Structure 1
Amino acid sequence: MLALKISSPLVSVSWLEQNLLNPQLVVLDASWFLPGSERNGRSEWQQKRIAGARFFDFDKKVAHPDASFPHMLPEAEHFSREVEALGISNHTKIVVYDSQGIFSAPRVWWMFRAMGHDQVAVLDGGLPAWELKGHALESGEPQPFEPGNFKSVYQEHWVIDGDTLVQSLNKPSIQVLDARAAARFYGTQPEPRQGVRSGHMPSAKSLPFGQLLQGGHFLPSEQLQQRFDAVSDNDQQLIFSCGSGVTACILALAAELAGRKQLTVYDGSWTEWGSTYKYPVVQ
């Protein structure tokens, strides 16, 4: 069997259908829903998933256990341990999807990239696109699998914290892009989390993640390039923020598809920034 290679951070339903049974491939369901939605990713995965998909819980299990903010990136050893339990090794090829089309899967793509694993892609259109084509689904308890052997190699350029970011806001070589809805960015709509201020970072620009999607799929790369060219220069480092670090990763993946090279996610995002009063906020 020829070695499987993932050559793009985004794969189609037809690509996955052709490669689904390849033993080098692991498919991950990363479905996650906003607090208050009364939906549960794990229970929905148990009820309906792409055949063979394993559930990746970045909210509780593959997350920093002592962080003050939601689903923060864990330490490298913690990440390695959890993905090994999912049968993933350093040679594994990974496709991640979610049940909303494109929403939470890019978060897991970014996590693997931040831990030094490049052979990972997101399924364009997610579970809805897979179902639309009538491809195989399953439910109930998954088949058992062997644990993997994964060593994380942390890539610090993919991640930034608040204290580092606050010192970088006015650098012309950096542009912060905020994935939240424009009303939240401009402070005309209150934040959903209690104790979090409204508004945005000084010098940040608004790029709501929905502007990069159409019908649960990413826009073509040429249109993504236009979106990023409108709010940033080609040689700037782009730092992505959102509510709690999930939809910021949609921007990160879209920027990579658009050919941008210097990409960083602010993991704490607005939940940290808006509740930390030493950080400046404007409207």
Structure 2
Amino acid sequence: MSEKKFPSPLVSVQWLAEQVERSDIVVLDASWFLPGVERDPEQEWLEKRIPGARFFDFDKKIAAPDTELPHMLPSSMLFSQACSELGIQSSDNIVVYDSQGLFSAPRVWWMFRAMGHQSVAVLDGGLPAWEEAGLPIDTDTPEQVAKTEYNSDFQPEWVIDADTLSTQLDALDTVVIDARPAARFYGTQPEPRKGVRSGHMPNAKSLPFSQLVKDGHFISVEQLVKRFDAVSDPEQRLVFSCGSGVTACVLALAAELAGRNKLTVYDGSWTEWGRVMKYPVVQ
């Protein structure tokens, strides 16, 4: 398992600009768009990227096969194989960004943490902040990378499945925090996916991820602490959920920045919970 080598799991574009040419720094573009958004993240990466950035496709390629649920965490073996193909080494320091500022990159941060890779950080402000700072953009054809032998070390505490979570909804030491917009949490706005019920889990708390991000950057650590203190106690285990497991990871990263250290993501999130009738839903 890699050691933590970043001062924070969130780095600035100024920091990355000074470090990007180091041989032990690997930059990953983890851009992803909601269904219905007519944009192709891999094509956009091909057209422009932070110099040296590799595209990390957690939606179609680096995801569990043989499931109807979107972009589920793959097995340790599949994850290791994919990282090896991308030329990533277990000792590398990984910086993840996305093209929306701060949206899908935390998903890949969480994936690496769940696979035992400690030295991973997210670029605050993402590609927009990099461009706004006038830093170099690569528009040439990406160079091929040499295959490595990446070894992951799965950390089960970072992930929870629906059956396990359903037994813990009343536990005093655990709280589910939902990153969806409040209207979807309270069932006043229908779910975008067909066949998915409206509402939330019993005892869950609402903390829309948009309340933690402003103009593509996280709000201050002091503000993050207040947001989490309003919905949980410092010693509680926090289980994060959202629509399909992407913005739940924004909350997970924000919680780590706020000093919380018992962090778990419900990977199936509302796409699974809302459509499986045996799981309870309230409004």
- TM-score using structure 2 length: 0.98
Tell me what 1:58 maps to.
58
1:279 aligns with 2:273: no
1:262 aligns with 2:262: yes
CA–CA distance in structure 1, aligned partners of residues 49 and 140 of structure 2: 9
Tell me what 2:105 maps to.
105
Residues 173-201 of structure 1 show CA distances to partners (whole Å, capped at 9, x for unaligned) of 00000000000000000000000000000
CA–CA distance in structure 2, aligned partners of residues 82 and 248 of structure 1: 23
CA–CA distance in structure 1, aligned partners of residues 237 and 103 of structure 2: 23
Tell me what 2:29 maps to.
29
Instruction: State percent identity of aligned pairs.
Output: 65
CA-based RMSD of the aligned residues comes to: 0.9
Aligned residue pair count: 280
Tell me what 2:134 maps to.
134
CA–CA distance in structure 2, aligned partners of residues 147 and 15 of structure 1: 27
Give secondary structure in 2 for the equivalent of 1:137.
coil
Give secondary structure in 1 for the equivalent of 2:238.
strand
CA–CA distance in structure 2, aligned partners of residues 184 and 232 of structure 1: 20
CA–CA distance in structure 2, aligned partners of residues 52 and 137 of structure 1: 10
Residues 222-253 of structure 1 show CA distances to partners (whole Å, capped at 9, x for unaligned) of 11000000000000000000000000000000
Give secondary structure in 2 for the equivalent of 1:96.
strand
CA–CA distance in structure 1, aligned partners of residues 132 and 240 of structure 2: 31
Give secondary structure in 1 for the equivalent of 2:21.
coil
CA–CA distance in structure 1, aligned partners of residues 248 and 38 of structure 2: 23
TM-superposed deviation, 1:13: 0.4
Letter of the aligned partner of 2:121 in structure 1?
A
TM-superposed deviation, 1:138: 1.1
Letter of the aligned partner of 2:169 in structure 1?
L
CA–CA distance in structure 2, aligned partners of residues 262 and 67 of structure 1: 28
Tell me what 2:73 maps to.
73
Residues 30-81 of structure 1 show CA distances to partners (whole Å, capped at 9, x for unaligned) of 0000000011110111111111100000001100011220000000000000
Tell me what 1:167 maps to.
167
Tell me what 1:187 maps to.
187
CA–CA distance in structure 2, aligned partners of residues 35 and 124 of structure 1: 24
Residues 241-276 of structure 1 show CA distances to partners (whole Å, capped at 9, x for unaligned) of 000000000000000000001000000000000011
- TM-score using structure 1 length: 0.98
Give secondary structure in 2 for the equivalent of 1:251.
helix
Tell me what 2:244 maps to.
244
The farther-off stretch of 254-263 and 148-157 is 148-157
Moved over 6 A (4+): none
CA–CA distance in structure 2, aligned partners of residues 171 and 236 of structure 1: 10
CA–CA distance in structure 1, aligned partners of residues 274 and 144 of structure 2: 43
CA–CA distance in structure 1, aligned partners of residues 111 and 145 of structure 2: 22
TM-superposed deviation, 1:149: 1.8
Tell me what 1:43 maps to.
43
CA–CA distance in structure 1, aligned partners of residues 177 and 203 of structure 2: 9
1:115 aligns with 2:115: yes
TM-superposed deviation, 1:140: 4.0
Unaligned residue ranges in structure 2 (runs of 5+): none
TM-superposed deviation, 1:163: 0.2
Give secondary structure in 1 for the equivalent of 2:211.
helix
TM-superposed deviation, 1:282: 0.3
Give secondary structure in 2 for the equivalent of 1:28.
strand
CA–CA distance in structure 2, aligned partners of residues 133 and 7 of structure 1: 22
Unaligned residue ranges in structure 1 (runs of 5+): none
Residues 100-143 of structure 1 show CA distances to partners (whole Å, capped at 9, x for unaligned) of 00000000000000000000000000000000011111124211
TM-superposed deviation, 1:281: 0.3
CA–CA distance in structure 1, aligned partners of residues 87 and 222 of structure 2: 36
Residues 150-171 of structure 1 show CA distances to partners (whole Å, capped at 9, x for unaligned) of 1110000000000000000000
Tell me what 1:87 maps to.
87
